[in-house]
Amino acid sequence: MPNALFITGTDTDVGKTATAVAILRQLVEAGIVCRAYKPVASGVVPGLSDPEQLWQAAGCPGLLAEVCPQVFHAAIAPEQAARAEGRRVDERLLRQGIVPHLASDLIVVEGAGGLFSPLGPGTLNADLARDFGLPVVVVDAARLGLIGRTLATVTAARAVGLTVAAIVISETAAMRANGPPDRPESPAATAAASLDDLRRHLPELPIGWLGYRADKIAPAINWRSLAAPVQQA
C-alpha cells in the first residue's frame, strides 16, 4: 500500500485545498508519484474546482473524476447538498474511492470541512482518517482565534486516536493594512506572534505557514517522512 496524508482543518474555508496543492507540488517536484483524493465535495461549480486544482497539482494522473467521485453543487454540507439534489452520499464509495490511487507512491487525501464535519450520514472526516489509518495535517486560517482553534482540533484529534503529523497556517486572504507592520495589533504581527505561541504549545509538531496565493509552505516540511501506509479493509 502507498503512504498517504489526510489534510483536514479546524473548520471550512481555512485553506485546506491550497495546503494540499502546495504539498502535492512539493512532492511532485521531488520526483514522487502522487495522487490526490477528495472523497466528497460540495459547492462545486464550473471552473477551476477544488478537485481540478488537486488533480493539476499532482500532474494530472489518471482521470479527474477519480480525484473526487462524489460531487454536489450547493455550497453546504455534503450530506445536505446531496439531499438538495435528490441524491445520497455513498458511504461505501467514500472508502472505496481511494482504490484507483493505490498504485502511486503517496496519496494526499483532503477532507471536507473541519475534522469533525460529516462527510455522509454516518461518517465524519475523523472517522475516514482513522479508517484509512492516516496521520492528519491540521490547517487553520491566519485570523484571530487560530491558537484556540488549532489547539482544540489537535487535542480532539488525539482524543479519538488520530496521529497529528503537522500544522499549517494558511493566509486565506491578503492581510489588510492596520498601521505599521510592527504594531502588535497589525495582522502581520499577530500572525507571527500566533505562530510563535503555537510552536511553544506544540513543540513536537512541524508548523508551516502558507502565504496568500503562495506556492510553498515555509519552512519546508518533509511530507513524505510524515505519511503512513493506507489501511484498506
Q: Which residues are catalytic?
A: 38
- Tell me how crowded residue 45 is: count the other CB atoms within 10 A of its CB: 8
Angle at 96 between CA 95 and CA 101, to 5 degrees: 105
What SS3 string covers the chain? CCEEEEEEECCCCCCHHHHHHHHHHHHHHCCCCEEEECCCECCCCCCCCHHHHHHHHCCCCCCHHHHCCCECCCCCCHHHHHHHCCCCCCHHHHHHCCHHHCCCCEEEEECCCCCCCEEECCEEHHHHHHHHCCCEEEEEECCCCHHHHHHHHHHHHHHCCCCEEEEEEECCCCCCCCCCCCCCCCHHHHHHHHHHHHHHHCCCCCEEEECCCCCCCECCCCHHHHCEECCCC
